[in-house]
Amino acid sequence: MEEERLAQFRQMLLARRRSLGERVLRSGEYGRETEQNLADIGDMAVESYTRDFMFGKSADDRRVLQLVAEALARIEDGSYGTCTHCESEIQAKRLEAVPWTPLCIQCQQLQEQGLLQE
Ligand SMILES: [Zn+2]
């Protein structure tokens, strides 16, 4: 991949890492505060609902954050843009939409169907 495009993807990934990192941090703080406030009120149903919601969301953020970190590592080692499974080139459009994806579209579909061999 050209240096210039690689630099663009690196910028996109760094920006995403920053915004996700802040969100993960904030959701952790939010979780703690909420737990305390709601314990005072004593509304356990609302508490567990809020906690499931916040933790579910931040688990997603954490997963993407991990993928972003791995994508940045692949930029550094020169393998970025290549499927980590079958080593074919990942479509440019796909990378633009999901710059942290490690898989080409075919492997992604297999993974979603649970058919991808690790
Ligand atoms: Zn693939």
What's the pLDDT tens digit per position in 42-80?
A: 555 555 556 555 566 777 888 999 999 999 999 999 999
The rounded Å distance from CA 54 to ligand 1 centre is 33
* pLDDT(84) > 80: yes
CA gap 72, 9 in Å, rounded: 9
Instruction: Provide the pLDDT for residue 87.
Output: 95
The rounded Å distance from CA 10 to ligand 1 centre is 21
The rounded Å distance from CA 80 to ligand 1 centre is 13
The more confident residue out of 9 and 24 is: 9
The rounded Å distance from CA 81 to ligand 1 centre is 11
Cβ atoms of 66 and 16 closer than 8 Å: no
The rounded Å distance from CA 53 to ligand 1 centre is 33
Q: Provide the 3-class DSSP secondary structure of residue 1.
A: coil
CA gap 108, 56 in Å, rounded: 22
The rounded Å distance from CA 87 to ligand 1 centre is 6
Question: 117 pLDDT band (50/70/90 cuts)?
Answer: confident
CA gap 87, 46 in Å, rounded: 47
Statement: the pTM of the whole predicted model exceeds 0.85: no
